[in-house]
Structure formats: structure tokens, C-alpha cells
Amino acid sequence: MVYEIARDKLKEECGIFGIYMNKPAVATEAARTTFYGLYALQHRGQESCGIAVSDGRHIDLHRGMGLVTDVIKSHHIENLKGNIAIGHVRYSTTGGSALMNAQPLVFHYLKGMVALAHNGNLTNAAELKTRLETYGSVFQTTTDTEVIANLMARYSQDTMEDALAKSMIDAKGAFALIIMTENQMVGLRDPMGIRPLCIGLLDGDYLLASESAALDTVGAKFVRDVEPGEMVVIDGQGLRSQQLAKSARRAHCIFEYIYFARPDSNIDGRNVNRMRRELGRQLAREHKPEADIVIPVPESGTAAALGYAQESGLPFEQGLIRNRYMGRTFIQPTQQMRELGVRLKLNVIPEVVAGQRVIMIDDSIVRGTTSKQIVQMVRKAGAREIHFMVASPPTQYPCYYGIDTSRREELIASSMNISEISDFIGADSLHYISKEGMFAALKTEGEEFCAACFCGDYPAGR
């Protein structure tokens, strides 16, 4: 049995990236560009990764368990030759942690070969799988991405675009997809736009990515977001678009802005860093205990802490330093080793916090165990008071749309009130931003977001 330090945070679903190059300068250019795109999306999944490449006749694949730089080496890229490439970084949600579930998934079907990279979860995956097995489909993985592939295969007598259009009528839930055949790349987004996907342009070649920061990394220009329910098809003729489905509402995942996405990304017209600062500003308007300094829990609490400091007029300090070279760390489940794991990840600067009334800001509290240990560390370093601030409302409900949340009974806010959580983590006070304040900071009344983890209202069902 092992204990994962990062388990006290919500786990992001996956990251996807693709590029269609008309005339690559070298045969491996598409694969190499995809490697850098995945590296920029590494925060979205650290469990497995892979790249699939088409040369117009055949699709080659390399994937494995681990980080991008551990799995994909230079000699692997040298074997991935072609003008179309798609890639995937994964943290398991549906399915489990196993090589067979690493993506992209590559299949043979009636019209040739197809590769799929998927971010999200189908809420009706089990129902669809049972139906498909009744019709004779065989499944080799435990991920719902294979359900999508089998849906496509059922409609394989149609064109790829028609097969996808019919498949999306059956699929329910949240999904952003990049699909590659021998000569096409297709991007698809669920009708409510829960999971993000955007389009880029690099020297006349089109790209698709979960976040705009990945486009920036490879030198591409952001063009626009894929619209909810839209399918974009990229081939030698360029890009064409088809609206497959329309929903009465949009439901972009609110946690993209709170925690998951890179601060330098723009998603659906909003800059993530700016939104996080606004959340911090709103938090200061709602809660302002007597204090001396503001410190973030890095890195995810940094932008909100800056916004809080600006609004409150209190000095912003780096009281906690994050070990930037620490990957996913697993340690034995003893109290002593758990404390060591937190210290490996974060270290306190006593000279900053000693004798101070500290406002400490984080993006969320999931189980509360890591927050408790951080509070203990800061108090041991000499802080006189610790007021813990959270730039999101209490996380009370699990996610069914591609985020690995704990079961509801493991979410501390589902069984404790704010006063009890404050006592549990050992803070002098604990304050969450209100739901109304969160939506005000994001300049919306909430209709265009999925905030089911806070309110239990699941826009695409369960």
C-alpha cells in the first residue's frame, strides 16, 4: 500500500494535442511538435502519455506509463514519421492505471486505421458498452475512449464525419476528442463545452490542443476555441467545421479556471491568471480578518493570493517554497512519512512567517490532510495566527465528467461544516469564497459553467 501526496488535490482529467502538417520540413517534425505540446500540457496528467503519427498510409504509435520526458525519447520520435500527429497525457478517471489504457488508442476498422485521444468521461459508458457487446463488439481496455471507437466502428459504412456525428448522438457526458485517420485530423467537443479544446495555426498548419498555452509553447497562433458541439475536420484542403449538436446551455468546467489550467492559458475567452486574481480579490471583499501578510500555497494559490493582497492592501510574501523538481511522489502511509512527503513538496521560510498574523490562500480543500500539514508547518515556523482562505466554495460533490475526485464521503466538506474543517486543519479561521462571489469574479451568473462539485447540479446528468 502506498500513499500519494498529491491525492489531496483534485486530479485533472487529461491533455490532448494534435497537428496536421501539409509539408513538414523533416519527417519527424509533426511528432516532435506534438512532444513539446504534450510537455506543455503535462500538468493535466502525469500517469501515462503517447503519440500517434500518420504518414498517409499507416499510423504508428508510441505510448507508455510515466511523464512525457520519461516515456518519449529522441529515438522514439525518430521512428514516428508522418505529417499528422496526435498526443495524449493521462490521469486515469474511467478505467484504471494500466498501459492498456494509455492513449492515444489506435484501431483498425472497415475504412482503415484510426487513432483517438480523449479528455473527459462518458456518463453512459457502461450502458453503451453493454449494448455494443450485445452487437458483438470486443473491448480490450477499461476506458470509455474505446466505447467511442466502437461506436464509430458501428457506423463505419458512413464517412468518418458521418460516423462521428452519429456516435455523438449516442454519447452523453463530457468529452473533447482528437481523432486521426491516415489522412485527416478531427476535433470534437461535447455539446455543453464542459471540456476545453482550441485551434491554433503554425506556418499555415492547423493544431488542436486542450489549452492555448500548448500552442504558445510550439510557436503557434491561437485562432479560436472549438465551439460546444462543433466538429472541425482538418485535411489537405484546410479546415472545415460542422455543428453536430446544440445545447440549451453551456457548462464549461469551472475548475479549469480555479485550478486545472495553466495560468497563461485562455479558455473560452477568459484568461486563467486574470480569473484567479479576480477570485482572490473577491475573497478579500468577503473576508478580511486582521492580519499582517498574505502567502499562497504554491503554485495553484499564487494568483489568487496576489489578487487578495492587491484588494486588501496587505503585503504579499512567498512564505512557502515549492520544490519545482518533485514529480509524483509516493510514500509509505505512516504519519512520519506523510509529513516528510509534504516537506519534500513545500518548505516554509521562517523569516517570513515568524511572529506574523498570516493569511494563507489555496485554490481548494479536498480531503484536508495536506492543508492540515501545511498549517502545522507554518505554525511550527513561528506564525502567530493562521487564517486559511480558499478561492473556491466547499467541494462537496464528486465529478462525473473526467475529473478524478474522491468518493463523496472522502470530500471533507461533505461531512464537516466550515468551523469543523477549520478545527481539523488547525487554522485560527477558515474562509471560502461564496458561490455568488465566485460567479461575480468570473463575470457571470453561473449559467455557462458546470459547478456541480460545489452545488450537486450535474448539467449533463450522471
Structure confidence by residue, pLDDT tens digits, 261-281:
999 999 999 999 999 999 999
Of 96-110, 114-128, 133-147, 190-204, which has the strongest mean pLDDT?
190-204
**What average pLDDT does the chain have?**
89
> Does 230 score more than 90 pLDDT?
yes
Q: Mean of the pLDDT values across residues 416-434?
A: 97
Task: Tell the residue number behind the cell numbers 460542422, with chain if given.
Answer: 242
All three cell numbers of 10, joined, read 483534485
What is the model's pLDDT at position 217?
Answer: 98
What residue has cell string 453493454?
130
Give the per-residue pLDDT at 405.
Answer: 59
Q: Is the pLDDT of residue 209 over 80?
A: yes
Residue 333 has pLDDT above 80, yes or no: no
Distance CA 57, CA 407 (A): 45
Q: In this predicted structure, what is the pLDDT of residue 327? A: 53
Whether residue 253 lies in the annotated active site: no
Averaged over 248-257, what is the pLDDT? 91
Q: CB neighbours (10 Å) of residue 315?
A: 12
Residue 11: band (very low, low, confident or very high) from pLDDT cuts 50, 70, 90: low
Mean predicted confidence (pLDDT) in 286-297: 97
Find out whether 89 and 46 touch, Cβ atoms under 8 Å. Answer: yes
Q: What does residue 303 show for φ and ψ, rounded to 5 degrees? A: -65, -40
Kindly report whether the peptide bond that precedes residue 299 is cis, defined as omega within 30 degrees of 0: yes
Q: Give Cβ neighbours of residue 146 (< 8 Å, ≥ 6 apart).
A: 105, 139, 140
Which of these is catalytic: 14, 49, 253, 450?
Answer: 14
Which range of 138-152, 364-378, 379-393 scores highest in mean pLDDT? It is 379-393
